[in-house]
Amino acid sequence: MQEFAFTVTYERGADELMDVFIDQSGLYSRTVSCQATTDTMWRVDEVTGPREALAAYDRRLEKLERCTNLQGMGGCRLDLTYEVLAREPTSRHIYSRQSEGDGCRSIPYLVAGHLGDGVLCRAEQYGNEYRWRLLADDEASLSSIYDALEEHLREGLTLEFERLEQSPTWQTGRVSGVNLPYAQREALELAVEYGYYETPRQCSLQEIADAEGIPISTLQYRVTRAEAWLATTFLSNEPPDREESTGIAGDE
């Protein structure tokens, strides 16, 4: 198998829904599941972020009249049905179903149409970028899909394509942050940004708190809670027979 990646970048004003991501820097979306046929696309997306960002996302989604980065690239009127499957303070799970119309093709439809059955795709969205990864057969060529994507780009969108040279890393074991409160995720992002986890450490939590205008007690609490969540989530995903296979059962 081989893995391909490409990124569609949006200028402000080019896409109504994407503008929410541009305006709300904490908003993040990824595909959970996606299926496309010759006439219909179904998908589930996980959207996370602070409450105000998700509220802005909800308002924009309710008023969509033309296809967007989530449903297509042509900017035409769309036949879209969606449902919020789960609504939490800092997350949404959204199911959508879209009919494929003339001149308005979704990215998964274009991929399936040019590469055939068996291609897996996933995507993530943050800021002004919509990043896609494809896992395809070794003999697949993306030259045709690249041409089709460029043909469907409307004004204000640019496309960057790459073929990943390393072995596919589709199953990375990455855990989702959907159950991590946004404030704690933001605290981790600040810690990484300021080099708190570097060796040697670039900044202390006190220095980060001072730079960001956050009480040190608040930042310390959020980082500690986030680290605890990451540790317990990682260990809960370990194989049940891990202790027996590694010979460390009973170690303290």
| pLDDT tens digits for range 213-242 | 999 999 999 999 889 888 887 776 554 444
Higher-confidence residue of 196 and 112: namely 196
Q: Is the pLDDT of residue 162 over 90?
A: no
Q: Is the pLDDT of residue 208 over 60?
A: yes
| Confidence at 248, pLDDT banded by 50, 70, 90 | very low
Tokens encoding 165: 């040279």
Please report where in the chains the tokens 């997306």 appear, as a residue.
Answer: 45
Q: What is the pLDDT of residue 240?
A: 46
The model's pTM is 0.66
- C-alpha span between 71 and 73 (Å, rounded): 7
CA 41 vs CA 79, 99, 232: distances in Å: 11, 6, 36
Q: Of the candidates 14, 16, 40, which has an alpha carbon nearest to the alpha carbon of residue 106?
A: 40
Average pLDDT over residues 115-133: 81
Q: Is the pLDDT of residue 22 over 70?
A: yes
Q: Is the pLDDT of residue 124 over 90?
A: no
86 C-beta neighbours (distance < 10 Å), count: 12
Domain ranges of the chain: 2-163, 182-246
- C-alpha span between 94 and 57 (Å, rounded): 12
| Confidence at 152, pLDDT banded by 50, 70, 90 | confident
Average pLDDT over residues 171-175: 48
Q: In the β-sheet with 157-163, what is the strand arrangement from edge to edge?
A: 79-88, 91-99, 40-48, 28-36, 120-126, 129-136, 2-10, 157-163
Task: Tell me which H or E stretch contains 32.
Answer: strand 28-36
Task: Identify the three-state secondary structure at position 113.
Answer: helix
| Confidence at 176, pLDDT banded by 50, 70, 90 | low
Average pLDDT over residues 96-125: 73
Q: What is the pLDDT of residue 140?
A: 62
